[in-house]
Structure 1
Amino acid sequence: MWDPAAYLTYGDLRGRPFHELVARIPAERPRRVVDAGCGPGNLTVTLARRWPSARVEAFDSSPEMVEAARAQGIAATVADVVDWTPEPDTDVLVSNATLQWITGHADLLRRWAGLLPSGAWLAMQVPGNFDAPSHVLTRRLAASERWRTRLADVSLRGADAVGAPEDYADLLADAGCTVDAWETTYVQRLEGDDAVLEWISGTALRPIRAALADADWETFRGELAELLAEAYPQRADGTTWFPFRRVFVVARTP
């Protein structure tokens, strides 16, 4: 289960890559704009403002997120990106921080590029920080003697969860698209105690939270908090710097 409130704790920081991605889509009057993996819908509403004449389609695999999106006035539906197929009039397809959850999403991108109409825009961004201390320490703790049995069925993503910008550029160029691919590392300023732990609790730690009872979860969090505090020391002013790499691609179909 997703917790929309937890996800929105750092809403401004989580939204920045989305806005920078969409700013690179020069579509003028698209017929249909799709937000694939819309989350709580706080960013989907900006697509309707950007292209007011377009039909905006939004979906997410999480019923909790879809419910939150509908509360924003968005006609969102529950659907899985793996099974979803674009309508013939889909001129803009945006996938924001979603495809990193999908094993083999390169094949999905290739399929979408082949199904979108001529001259359509396919834009996506994914986190590229799976080899950062936040994720490495989480995997290391989960694999430790104390936790590995209880977390044996939990699959945590490694550095191969996403590709490099040139990987996606090659993939979509081979599909005949014109491609703009890049990466950005945001040095994010997080406030409060255990700020990095709170950040990843809303996303990367979800599978661990789902696998542990409440008491075990609090113990795991406490042990991870100590590791993260050493890797990401808190400044005297109570803030913490959290470097976060993102990978972006905007492609236009031939």
Structure 2
Amino acid sequence: MPTWDPAVYERYKAYRDRPALDLLTQIPRDLDPAEIWDLGCGTGEHTVVLSMRHLDANVYGLDSSAEMLAQARKRDAQVAWIEGDIAAFAPATPPDLIFTNAALQWLPDHGRLFPRLVETLAPGGVFACQIPVQFETTHHRIIRETAADGPWAETMADARPTAPAPRMERYYDWLSPLCDSVDLWTTAYIHVLEGDDAVLDWLSGTSLLPYVEAVAFEPELKAGFLAELRRRLTEQFPRREDGTTLLPFERRFFVARRR
């Protein structure tokens, strides 16, 4: 997992919040959870929303980043903030709700991961998940091509993903044997970004982290990579007449109810 900078990640807070809030609206209204886990909770903003919605529930926020959790602990002392790895998630009490927003894309083997997480739920429990589409997007293609084309290529070899995420039908096949209902959808957002290097700035908070960390101790390679990436992104995503830059961004959503 990359090292997160809360200040950089929250630079486009409104755009990063919206998918999480869209996911929250689709949690079944008849669910009255006693145990709630937010996996990959980050700075905890959405964990707190869950806590405020379900005042009698035990709410836990799990994240691998100590920096993110330090910010989360300032938000709500009633939430149990836990530093840990989602891949090792094994709750002592079966959750009634697992909420996870823009976190599981960092973990491999979704064919095992998603069913395993659902299997931890109590009967009737809900798994609510959002992950961004990455490999297939234009900006990710440009990142991969730039990373593979320069003196930094060998150093960044392990940072580059080698295959796209599975098709949505595969997720249905993995979840449906365990669930009474599986709701899947995608949403394409158009982000209106401001600034001279708007797309690069957006990506620096998430997708670029593995690449930048790969050359963290080689400043010349890092500077050269970012300069070339900036050039390619600016060419692909030109500024509009009003000075803004439009970035299409697609996200996948999953809401499944445990049998």
Task: Classify the TM-score, shorter chain.
Answer: over 0.9
Cα separation, 2, equivalents of 1:163 and 1:188 = 25
TM-score, scaled to structure 1: 0.94
Partner of 1:217: 222
Alpha-carbon distance, 1:159 to partner: 4.9
| 1:82 equivalent in alignment to 2:83 | no
1:1-254 matched pairs, under 5 angstroms:
1-26=3-28, 27-73=30-76, 74-152=79-157, 154-160=158-164, 162-212=165-215, 213-254=218-259
Cα separation, 1, equivalents of 2:120 and 2:211 = 36
Cα separation, 2, equivalents of 1:58 and 1:192 = 33
Once the two structures are superposed, what CA deviation does each residue of 1:168-222 show, in whole Å capped at 9, x if it has no partner? 2221112234111100110111111111101111111111211223343232211
Kindly provide the amino acid, as one letter, of the partner of residue 174 in structure 1: P
Cα separation, 1, equivalents of 2:178 and 2:150 = 46
| 1:165–1:249 contact (8 Å) kept in structure 2 | no
Q: Percent identity of the aligned residues?
A: 39
| 1:30–1:51 contact (8 Å) kept in structure 2 | yes
Alpha-carbon distance, 1:57 to partner: 0.5
Cα separation, 2, equivalents of 1:2 and 1:186 = 23
| 2:37–2:98 contact (8 Å) kept in structure 1 | yes
TM-aligned CA distance change 1:36 to 1:54, over 3 Å: same
Question: SS of 2:246's equivalent?
Answer: strand
**Greater alpha carbon shift after TM alignment, 137-146 vs 30-39:** 137-146
Pairwise CA RMSD of aligned residues? 1.6
Alpha-carbon distance, 1:109 to partner: 1.3
Unmatched tracts of structure 1, length 5 or more: none
Unmatched tracts of structure 2, length 5 or more: none
Cα separation, 1, equivalents of 2:126 and 2:179 = 13
| 2:97–2:125 contact (8 Å) kept in structure 1 | yes
TM-aligned CA distance change 1:155 to 1:164, over 3 Å: same
TM-score, scaled to structure 2: 0.92
Alpha-carbon distance, 1:105 to partner: 2.4
Kindly provide the amino acid, as one letter, of the partner of residue 102 in structure 2: A
Question: SS of 1:124's equivalent?
Answer: strand
Count how many residue pairs are aligned between Structure 1 and Structure 2: 252
Once the two structures are superposed, what CA deviation does each residue of 1:71-90 show, in whole Å capped at 9, x if it has no partner? 22243111101101134341
| 2:179–2:256 contact (8 Å) kept in structure 1 | no
Moved over 4 A (4+): none
